[in-house]
Each structure stands twice: as structure tokens, then as C-alpha cells.
Amino acid sequence: MANETDKLTALSIKTLACAGAPARKHFDGGGMYLDVRANGSRYWRMAYRFAGRERLLALGVYPEVGLAEARRRREEARAQLRNGTDPLAAKADRKTADLRVAEAAFPKVAAAWLAHKQTGWAEETYRKAAYVTNTYLVPALRRQSITTMKSKDAAHAIQGIPPSLARKARQYLCGIVNYAIQEELRDDGRLLSLRGVLPRHEKGHIPAATDPASLRAVVKAIDEYQIPVTRAALTLALLTAQRPGLVAAAEWAEFNLVDAEWSIPARKMKMRKPHLVPLPRQAVEQLQRMLAWTQGRKYVFPALARQKTEHLHRDTLSKALREMGFQGTHATHGFRTALRTIARKRLGIDSDVLEAQLAHAKRGDVQQAYDRTEFTDARRRVMQEWANYLDKLRAMNPHDIRRVA
């Protein structure tokens, strides 16, 4: 019995149908043939029947796909038929899967995730997520598809990130994967297994000066810092105890120096609620001095060097404190801790008033629903008392600092 396949040869194919010759099909067997067109183009095809219907499968274009490769593809299709699979449908599924992988390129999905989250996040929350994602995750995973990315790939990327940011990076990466699953760019249930990827460590508190002597040292160092814009921003953070990012990005439109108020819009706040900050006399005076530098501009504290933001970067404040010698003992965020600790202990200020000044979320759904008191008048008195206390610390002799109440 003659062999029903492998009727063509590589040599015969080269001589088939020169340009201008009539179109013709040259069969190799098993349903496969070389479709030669009048213009000399040659296409591999395979005719077959599935579920009672005639089907035609494209196997490639000659000479890009040679005879041996065309036969391999034919045998693969015939194996699918034996298993009850339609080769044409399987090819379409592969094409869809390949397109899905391309659409799920990690940089593309990460950008979509950030855009999706931006509307529900405060500006500082988004800034931090965008910084970690674009600075560390995207470069490390730029060649990965979210569809096929494995936990091992993700773990390797996270382990290469500085420890201070690695845990946030892991959180963001898991968020990107969850988003990809919801968008059907990754199979349901295919979460990343990243527990234990980072070494265990004791979570420490943000370093802060929480006694009069150490706080006085910080205050005096800020007063003597040589860069006026940075010094002014640190002073405002000290006097108001607001988050560093809010201080660095403060806009003149937010301030009413006549009424001594700073109105921070909801879009900037972590809890997405507008926050009114009473300004003590000393803060107003500091801001009035800044008018000479930035009056007519959008931001109170302009950028000191070429950078992505038009305003002072919050990391500039941290860097300044490190340069003053407070590495590990006081951070910019520590001004909030200093107010909460010293004002409560030394000045006897009610904790609810302090929490309102710090814009901390109230604990418990019931308390959030019914206790809407913002203590605006009380906070105005408290922040002036706090500013006066800081002036008293400035004037004290270090040896007499214990007398400060």
C-alpha cells in the first residue's frame, strides 16, 4: 500500500509554479497541500473534517515554513483530531493566549493599576506607590508578562529592593496581580506566594524626639540650618505636626494668613477628608517670610534642584535632618510623634484634641459615625501653646532644660 503522506520533496517544491503559471494545489498527503498561486506565492494548507464540517487550517507560508516544519505542524494537527480537538479552534485559542500575554506585559499592567488606584488615593499615597512601582518593580520585571509571571520571578525582584521599601513593594506587587486577575489578564486563583521572601525583623517606631532635651536639640539645629527654603519647611512641620508630604507640597492657595488657617484639600489627605490646620502666630510669621521667595508661585516651598516635582521633595526634609546628625533619632514624621507625646505629657493637652490636629482616623465605626467633633477652637489654642512651648525650649539653657514643664 502506497504511503499516503510525504509525497512532495524539497527539490520538487523549489521548481513548482514559476510566476505566471496557473494556480495549482500540490498534495503531500494527510490532507496537507502546497497551494501555489499564479503570482508564485506558496501557502501550506491542511483540509480536514471536524464534527461533520469541512475545515481548512493554514500551516504557514513557503519558504518561511519549509517542508519538514509544515509536516510537523500537520502531524500535530492530526494528533489533535485524534484527541477530539479542532486544530483550527486550538490555533485560535493559542493566538488569543499570545495576545493576552502581550497585553499583560508587566509595565503596561502596572501603569493601568496605578491609574485605577489614583482616583481613590490621597496624592501622597499615590506618589509613594508610583515611586516604588516605577523605580523598582517595573525595571526588575519589565520583561515579564503578568499572565505567566511566577512567584520566583516576583520574589527575586523584591529581594533586590532596599529593605525600607521592600515591604511596600511586595504589597504593591500583590495589588497589581489582583488587579490583573480581575481584568482577566491572569487566571483566577493564581496569586503570588511571597510569604517569607523578606527576612523577619522587628518593626520599629519612627524615630522621634519625645523629651524636652532632645526636642530642643532638633529645634536649635533647624534654626541654624543654612538652606532657607528647607529650614522654613521644617519649621512649618515642627509648628503644625502635619505629614511631611503635605508640608513639602503646600500651596499658597491653601493658606489664609489673615485668619491663620491652612485648609488642606481632601485629595491630599490620607483619609480623603479636608483638614483645617490652625496656624500659631509663629507659623504665620514664617510663611510671611516665605512670601519674599515664592509670592506669585503655586507652591510655598519651591524645588531646590532639577526634579520631577515643582515643589520641595519630602525626602529633602529627611536628608536635612540626617545632615544635622539626627539619623536614627528623629525623622520628619517624628514631629507628629513629638507633639502627641510631649504635648500630652508635659502640657496636659487632651488626646482627642491632638488626634484631631494630626487628622488621625477615629477608632471604630461607631465613633467615626457619631463623633465628628474637630475641636477647631481648642486646636487653635493648643497649637499656639505648642509654638510658645517651642520658643521656651529655644531660650532655655541646656542645663536647665528639666525645668520646662
- CA separation, residue 200 to residues 91, 108, 152, 166, 270 (Å): 47, 32, 19, 12, 28
Paired residues of 35 in beta bridges = 25, 43
- CA separation, residue 275 to residues 19, 85, 251, 399 (Å): 79, 63, 14, 39
More confident residue, 82 or 309: 82
When computed from its CA atoms, the radius of gyration of the chain, rounded to whole angstroms, is 34
pLDDT class of 305 with cuts at 50, 70, 90: confident
147-195 residue pLDDT tens: 888 989 989 988 888 877 888 899 999 999 999 888 888 888 888 888 8
Q: How far is CA 283 from the centre of its chain?
A: 33
H-type alpha helices, 119-211: 123-132, 138-141, 151-159, 163-182
CA distance 357 to 382: 9
Closest CA to 44 of 55, 67, 60: 60
Query: Could you tell me the pTM of the whole model?
Result: 0.58
Give 359's contacts (C-beta < 8 A, 6+ positions apart).
242, 269, 270, 271, 273, 275
Q: Say what the pLDDT of residue 178 is.
A: 92
The answer to whether 298 and 310 have CB atoms below 8 angstroms apart is yes
50-65 residue pLDDT tens: 988 899 988 889 988 9
Percent of residues, the chain, with pLDDT higher than 90: 33
The stretch 128-148 carries a mean pLDDT of 90
Give 295's contacts (C-beta < 8 A, 6+ positions apart).
252
More confident residue, 12 or 254: 254
Q: Say what the pLDDT of residue 374 is.
A: 61
272-285 residue pLDDT tens: 788 889 999 999 99
pLDDT class of 343 with cuts at 50, 70, 90: confident
Cell of 383: 497649637
Paired residues of 61 in beta bridges = 43
Q: Phi and psi at residue 93, in whole multiples of 5°?
A: -65, -40
Closest CA to 246 of 229, 222, 267: 267
The answer to whether 342 and 210 have CB atoms below 8 angstroms apart is yes
CA distance 294 to 298: 8
Beta pairing class for 42-50 and 53-62: antiparallel
Domains of the chain by start residue, with CATH? 10-96 (3.30.160.390), 106-182 (1.10.150), 212-403 (1.10.443.10)
Give 385's contacts (C-beta < 8 A, 6+ positions apart).
343, 347, 349
- Which residue spans within 5-141 are E strands per DSSP? 24-29, 32-36, 42-50, 53-62
